[in-house]
Amino acid sequence: MAEKVLTANRLSDGIAVWLDAAGQWNEKLQEAFVARHAEAVAALEATGKQALADNLVVDVNVIDVEERNGRLHPLRLRERIRAEGPTMAYAEGHGFADPDFIAA
């Protein structure tokens, strides 16, 4: 089974967040809790459903990640972009994603 993390968008501002080991929504993928077995994935799904019901987050998803050189790397491009930011600069003060991280 692939390693998985729980991600969502924070309802208050739309920022992509990941659930960490303390049960908090964190803006850094690298601090996300990694589920490595079915029971942990089920716990993530239940936590995500409750956070959605509590109006803390929206677009809740369990996503596949793999660890590369000690860093979490989402398998889908969409999730890599959500984790690292846009693929191009779009507004003053906002950088863009590391091309090596986004590369498929």
pLDDT at 95: 64
| Separation between Cα atoms, residue 30 and residue 53, nearest integer Å | 26
Nearest alpha-carbon partner for 82 in 29, 34, 41, 32: 29
Predicted pLDDT of residue 81: 87
pLDDT tens across 18-33, in order? 999 999 999 999 999 9
- Closest C-alpha to 62, from 50, 85, 77, 79: 79
The CA distance from 90 to 37, in Å, is 39
Q: What is the pLDDT of residues 30-88, one digit of tens each?
A: 999 999 999 999 999 999 999 999 999 999 999 999 999 999 999 999 999 889 876 66
Q: Does 97 or 40 have the greater pLDDT score? A: 40
